[in-house]
Amino acid sequence: MENEHRINFCPHCCNRAPHTLLITQGYEGVGWMTDGDEIPYDGTYFVARCETCKEILIYHSYTEEDYRSAELYWPNIGLNKAVPEEVSRIYNEAIRIKQLAPNAFAVQIRRALEAVCKNRGTQKHSLAQQLKELAEKGEIPETLSEASDILRLIGNVGAHASETEVHPLQATAIDQFFKAIVSYVYVSPAMIKEFKENMKKYSKTLETPNDRMQPIAGEPSSG
Ligand SMILES: [Zn+2]
């Protein structure tokens, strides 16, 4: 019997290619509502192979849905939902050409970084100066704004296309640099906000038994 396949983007080789289903593995998962109630679900992992590069991909579904409607779980290429849509959109275009066209990738990442700076309201002209501004405002660590090799490379590429060639290894470094920036500016603050909210929501569900523990009349209330 022929294996099931679907055509999708492969983050390994950056091609749209058939992904052949190799293994289907169901599991019994448990999630939680914000009030602490459990929600059991039947999830499924689908292990597949890209027919262009032969690398492995993992798709996942929170239901017993079929392979074709499952979402790509690994490798994960998208940015966190805390990143503004404009920045994500430019990055999603960039990541698709990272392997095939590292120069064009670097130009796109420069655009994405400029979008981050614009979104954070920086005033300076050059990208290097704008990142320094973000560091001065405490939004990124100073060491990131001082990554001059990377900044010089993404500043030169495209402007002097004939002289500057970005090696795929450098494209990976540029990608990591960009992800570090968005992680400091958007992802970490959103994560901290979310865990504080979750702590607050969950502690509400603990209030009921605590309500019974009223201070004894006449006892001075603390705090
Ligand atoms: Zn592939």
Least confident span in 24-38, 73-87, 179-193: 24-38
CA of 57 to the centre of ligand 1 (A): 9
CA of 50 to the centre of ligand 1 (A): 5
What is the tens place of the pLDDT at every residue in 42-98? Answer: 999 999 999 999 999 999 999 877 999 999 999 988 899 999 999 999 999 999 898
Phi and psi for 61 in degrees, rounded to 5? -140, 140
CA of 219 to the centre of ligand 1 (A): 70
Q: Is 92 exposed, middle or buried (0-12, 13-18, 19+ CB in 10 A)?
A: middle
Q: Is the pLDDT of residue 218 over 50?
A: no
pLDDT at residue 76, as a whole number: 85
Distances (CA, A) of 16 to 11, 35, 52, 78: 9, 42, 9, 16
CA of 15 to the centre of ligand 1 (A): 6
CA of 218 to the centre of ligand 1 (A): 73
Confidence of residue 215 (pLDDT cuts 50, 70, 90): very low
CA of 150 to the centre of ligand 1 (A): 27
pLDDT at residue 61, as a whole number: 94
Q: Is the pLDDT of residue 210 over 70?
A: no
Is 85-201 in CATH node 1.20.120?
yes
Task: Tell me the range of 83-92, 96-105, 209-218 where mean pLDDT is highest.
Answer: 83-92
pTM: 0.76
pLDDT at residue 206, as a whole number: 57
Which residues in 2-14 are b (16+ Cβ under 10 Å) and which e? eeebbebebbeeb
CA of 62 to the centre of ligand 1 (A): 25
pLDDT at residue 26, as a whole number: 95
**Do the Cβ atoms of 70 and 46 come closer than 8 Å?**
yes
Q: Where are the domains of the chain?
A: 5-74, 85-201
pLDDT at residue 207, as a whole number: 53
What is the tens place of the pLDDT at every residue in 120-145? Answer: 999 998 899 999 999 999 999 999 98
CA of 103 to the centre of ligand 1 (A): 20
Q: Alpha carbon 197 to chain centroid distance? A: 21
CA of 46 to the centre of ligand 1 (A): 16
Mean pLDDT computed over every residue of the chain: 86
